[in-house]
Amino acid sequence: MPANPSKFLNMTVTRFEIRPGAYADSIVLMQLQAALLTLPGVHDAGVVMATPTNLDLLRASDLWHEPAGAARPEDLVLVVRADTDRAAIDALSRVDELMERPGTRTQEEFCPRSLKSATQLLPEADWVLVSVPGRYAADIAWEALDHGKHVFLYSDNVPVEDEVALKSSAATKGLLVMGPDCGTAIINGVGLGFANNVRRGAVGLVGASGTGLQAISTRVHALGAGISQAVGTGSRDLSEPVGAVTTLQGLDLLSRDEGTRVIVLISKPVPPGVAARVLAAARETGKPVVVHFLGYAPPGDGGNLYFAGGSSEAAARAVQLLNDAGVSADRSLGTSLPGGEDEGFRSLKGTRFLRGLFAGGTLAYEAQQALRPWLWPLHSNVPVPGSESLADPWRSRGHTILDLGADEFTVGRLHPMMDQGLRVRRLRQEAAHPDVGLILLDVVLGRGAHPDPAAELGPVIREVLRERDFEVVVTLLGTEEDPQDLHAQEARLHKAGAVVFLDLAEALAYVRRRLPLPPPPGAVQPVRLGILEKPLGAINVGLESFYASVLEQGARAVHVDWRPPAGGDEDLMALLRKMRG
């Protein structure tokens, strides 16, 4: 028997525990989950309140054990997968100790217990930021609106009916509800949620896509311009039921904001009726509006509207509009190639596959749209039209691009922008597969994101690249003013052997250059070039006008005085055809 059977056989043991009525807020749960992962022998851990949705998601994951289904919504479910049963038991036994670790807040600081006392304490606060678990979030948002506050609603899992009611009530009061599921906003230079430290400037953003807003704002910054305001709307704002209430408010607000000279509007796919309403509002702003609706066949620029096919292009067009004579849209943002460009591009072998492991949903979507014509069939857990839906998100097939921030991956864990754990495991798993030729990652910096993602990802990238010959390509989004230090992150990832781009479009263009051409179709004989080199000659069967036309053009032609065989009799025709062979 080998020395380490579990590793050799790739066997692990999963143990779980239900703690009845043990409510803890999500940040505590996330910290607990992260702490469990650091314990010896632990491969994976899940920590989740047992709501029906969470159980469904857990059921679909690789951490599920059927007995956990007995938990009630107010129960806490803990799952640990480890090398040995001993390690799993040990890990679960340390849960109480791990949960008592102090939080980030200074213990002495006074905190009011209610929103009401908070508004008395800071009456000039116009905003309430809500990031409690989804089922509590709507109540707090209602209370905030009652106090006349604008709401930044980070929480997800808020029912759409609540969103509709909250937003229509807010709209009648001139208040914004950014969210639910709003990851990013920048108001008066202050980033809310996940946001990058970008220069202030004259480009205003309205977006239903968190990483989309981050991609555009960092790109605008890199191109030398800046952001006036970035209004997040929540991922569902442009759906039919919600009707783009916040997007319309955001456009109206930016149209009146003197600091905003160009507007960028971004969304994942939009239903046509909603698109029409939003674009009408965009026309009304009277300012140039660059529109980037993912998956939307562009209708052509018109009036003050400009259509972009990606977030990089949207940023570039906005900056160009700001200053026609200024920064070029095509300016390269720098690339860290593994041995310098001189080495030339190694080409992927014919049968090797691409695997995209994205933290940003919009980036996963854009990558699919950009690579779809080159990589077909392309699989995804969040397929764009033309991609194939992945039956099991835990197992890639052929070319696969994943949004690891989707619900099926984030139940009981921090979002991959904060916690690289799941991504690191998936990266190893993909890297071990001999058919995988290129792994594509995004790393999004900024407030709220992991404090040093390259420190976690770098060593793993170096390790997997040492074991096998393939490529890791990273899109690194952020600014040199972000807490993580863009260029330090870039250097670290580069040193680990990754090809690093500071712009998604450039990374995707690089990937496209690396893809092999498909084998030529068989049994095809090239058309002789000779037909293009000599005067045309034609025999015409049918419309006489075609014959006349060819003659008029000086070409030679013969017209056949054609009559239908067998006088048009179908049976006789079939017989004749049969006789002929």
466 is a site residue for a copy of itself (CB under 8 A): no
Among 20, 40, 112, 326, binds a copy of itself (CB under 8 A): 112
With CB under 8 A as the rule, give the number of residues binding a copy of itself: 155
In the block, which residue shows the tokens 């949004």? 403
- What CA–CA distance (Å, rounded) separates 371 from 373? 6
34 is a site residue for a copy of itself (CB under 8 A): no
Among 230, 263, 294, 314, binds a copy of itself (CB under 8 A): 294
560 is a site residue for a copy of itself (CB under 8 A): yes
Range 531-550, binding a copy of itself (CB under 8 A): 531-550
Work out whether strand 127-130 and strand 150-153 pair parallel, antiparallel, or are unpaired: parallel
Among 63, 78, 91, 192, binds a copy of itself (CB under 8 A): 192
Range 114-143, binding a copy of itself (CB under 8 A): 114-115, 118-119, 121-122, 124-133, 135-136, 139-140
325 is a site residue for a copy of itself (CB under 8 A): no
372 is a site residue for a copy of itself (CB under 8 A): yes
- What CA–CA distance (Å, rounded) separates 514 from 375? 12
Among 56, 328, 376, 395, binds a copy of itself (CB under 8 A): 376
Among 108, 529, 578, 579, binds a copy of itself (CB under 8 A): 529
Q: Do the beta carbons of residue 402 and residue 38 sit within 8 Å?
A: no
Range 423-462, binding a copy of itself (CB under 8 A): 447-448
Work out whether strand 378-380 and strand 556-560 pair parallel, antiparallel, or are unpaired: unpaired
Among 3, 172, 344, 578, binds a copy of itself (CB under 8 A): 172
71 is a site residue for a copy of itself (CB under 8 A): no
Range 477-496, binding a copy of itself (CB under 8 A): none
528 is a site residue for a copy of itself (CB under 8 A): yes
259 is a site residue for a copy of itself (CB under 8 A): yes
What would the 3-class secondary structure string for 349-416 be? CCCCEEEEEECCHHHHHHHHHHHCCCCCCEEECCCCCCCEECCCCCCCCCEEEEECCCHHHHCCCCCC
Among 46, 81, 98, 150, binds a copy of itself (CB under 8 A): 150
Selection from 507, 514, 512, 510 nearest residue 215 by Cα:
507
Q: Do the beta carbons of residue 76 and residue 50 sit within 8 Å?
A: yes
- What CA–CA distance (Å, rounded) separates 186 from 195? 7
Cα–Cα distance list, 170 to 147, 166, 175, 304, 320 (Å) = 11, 6, 5, 29, 35
559 is a site residue for a copy of itself (CB under 8 A): yes
229 is a site residue for a copy of itself (CB under 8 A): yes
CA angle 260–507–473, rounded 5-degree value: 130
- State the nearest-atom distance from the C-beta of 79 to a copy of itself, in Å: 20
Q: Which amino acid is at 448?
A: G
Hey, what are 206's tokens? 């309205």
310 is a site residue for a copy of itself (CB under 8 A): yes
Nearer to a copy of itself, 73 or 334 (CB): 73
Hey, what are 326's tokens? 């200024």
* Residue 302: burial class (beta carbons within 10 Å; 0-12, 13-18, 19+): exposed
- State the nearest-atom distance from the C-beta of 497 to a copy of itself, in Å: 25
Work out whether strand 262-267 and strand 378-380 pair parallel, antiparallel, or are unpaired: unpaired
3-state secondary structure of 547: helix
- State the nearest-atom distance from the C-beta of 542 to a copy of itself, in Å: 3
575 is a site residue for a copy of itself (CB under 8 A): no
178 is a site residue for a copy of itself (CB under 8 A): no
| φ, ψ (nearest 5 deg) of residue 82 | -140, 170
579 is a site residue for a copy of itself (CB under 8 A): no
Nearer to a copy of itself, 11 or 539 (CB): 539
Q: Do the beta carbons of residue 406 and residue 381 sit within 8 Å?
A: yes
